[in-house]
Amino acid sequence: MSDINNISVEKGYVEAFVSPFTDLLEDIEIIKKRKNALILAHYYQNWAIQQAADFIGDSLALAQKAVSIDADIIIMCGVHFMGETVKILNMNKKVLVPDLNAGCSLAQSCKEEDLKKFKSEHPDYKIISYVNTTAEVKAISDIVVTSGNAVKIVNSLPKEEKILFGPDRNLGRFINEKTGRKMLLWDGACHVHERFKIDDILALKERHPDALILSHPECKKSIVDISDFTGSTAEMIKFVSNSSAESFIIVTEEGIMNELRRNFSDKIFIPAPSEFLSSHDYFCNECEYMRLNTLEKLYLTLKYELPEITVEPELAAKAKKSIDTMLSLS
């Protein structure tokens, strides 16, 4: 529990009074300049946060951006592991996230002790970890990858290399198919991408036969197999910019629609079917962790410089090695 001047971060985000007359976007802009702060946001953030951000990208672009920031404060609007990655690359800076509760089902699916056990039983395996992992897991991995560079990085390794890939079994299977490797796969998945159902996508395709299907490699095989293109969020956006097609069925988190609609107003984007999960209060194509961040929480984070991401220096140095290897191979 931390209580400073009537504010609380007990719940993992700042709770404080915000006047209903506050123009959040305008004030964020003013405070940002005054404090020399920079706001990074993932494509899966809501429209309002993307409006406030200085840089929007996929996991790879965000990690690449994080190595050359000269601001004093960095606010990472995304999930916890993204904040941790930015901190590891900027140990001398203050790194903040609007809500520390923004986790990730993939990161949760790979526990440090389980990976350590695998390593001790299989010392001859190289460990390649998706960036969607904790700092502890990155620290005992050989290389970190994102969905945007995984195929390239795996292809750069000797063919005979024994590899464990984790924690996303869907991305791992996709890389195996693309590279012809037989990497062992950790049994984790992104619950948002696993919620998409092939029958729903096929029904959508029947209604929009000219639309191309674009999917994220975190989707199940049945969906990847019927897709016209599968790639990271940035790769999907690039595909659209190089395509003469007019409409696209987008099978990934709904936040990407902001970037697509902003950049390609002459094209039609159909989000993968979503139903409202009234028991949870969100649409099933929304990552509830990503959506924990709101413009008001971002404003309070900037104002009070809380909550801060911290990583032990020794742990950060170990995790940085595997991130640096990724950046050098990207």
Binding site for ligand 13P (CB under 6 A): 58-59, 132, 146-148, 190, 218, 232-233
Which pair of structure tokens corresponds to residue 292?
């924990």
Fill in the DSSP letter of residue 278. Answer: T
253: left (phi over 0), alpha (psi -120 to 50) or beta: beta
Angle among Cα 58, 56, 72 to the nearest 5 degrees reads 110
Q: Which is nearer to ligand SF4, 85 or 105 (CB)?
A: 105
d(Cα 328, Cα 324) in Å, to the nearest integer? 6
Binding residue for ligand SF4 (CB under 6 A) from 165, 196, 289, 299?
Answer: 289
Q: Which of residues 181-200 bind ligand SF4 (CB under 6 A)?
A: 190-192
Counting contacts by CB under 6 A, is residue 284 touching ligand SF4?
no
Counting contacts by CB under 6 A, is residue 287 touching ligand SF4?
yes
d(Cα 194, Cα 222) in Å, to the nearest integer? 11
Q: Which is nearer to ligand 13P, 212 or 214 (CB)?
A: 214
Q: Which is nearer to ligand 13P, 232 or 258 (CB)?
A: 232
CB of 306 to ligand 13P, least distance (A): 23
d(Cα 82, Cα 215) in Å, to the nearest integer? 22
Q: Which is nearer to ligand 13P, 32 or 255 (CB)?
A: 255
Counting contacts by CB under 6 A, is residue 234 touching ligand SF4?
no
How many residues at the interface with ligand SF4, by CB under 6 A? 12
CB of 15 to ligand 13P, least distance (A): 26
Cα atoms in the Cβ-side hemisphere of radius 13 Å centred on 141: 31
Q: Which of residues 38-77 bind ligand SF4 (CB under 6 A)?
A: none
d(Cα 30, Cα 305) in Å, to the nearest integer? 15
CB proximity list for 225: less than 8 A, separation 6 or greater: none
d(Cα 304, Cα 315) in Å, to the nearest integer? 27
CB of 104 to ligand SF4, least distance (A): 3
Counting contacts by CB under 6 A, is residue 147 touching ligand SF4?
no
Distance between terminal CA atoms of the chain?
41
User: Which amino acid appears at position 75 of this protein?
Assistant: I
Where does the chain show beta strands of DSSP type E? 3-4, 7-8, 37-42, 55-57, 73-77, 94-96, 126-130, 143-145, 163-166, 184-185, 212-215, 229-230, 247-251, 268-271, 276-277, 282-283
CB of 71 to ligand SF4, least distance (A): 24
Counting contacts by CB under 6 A, is residue 105 touching ligand SF4?
yes
Stretch that binds ligand SF4, among 24-32, 100-108, 133-141, 267-275 (CB under 6 A): 100-108
Binding residue for ligand SF4 (CB under 6 A) from 290, 302, 306, 309?
Answer: 290
Q: Give the sheet arrangement for strand 212-215, strand by strand.
A: 229-230, 212-215, 247-251, 268-271
Stretch that binds ligand SF4, among 22-30, 150-158, 220-228, 286-294 (CB under 6 A): 286-294
CB of 132 to ligand SF4, least distance (A): 5
Q: From the list ligand 13P, ligand SF4, none, which binds 105 (C-beta under 5 to 8 Å, kind-based)?
A: ligand SF4
Q: From the list ligand SF4, ligand 13P, none, which binds 232 (C-beta under 5 to 8 Å, kind-based)?
A: ligand 13P
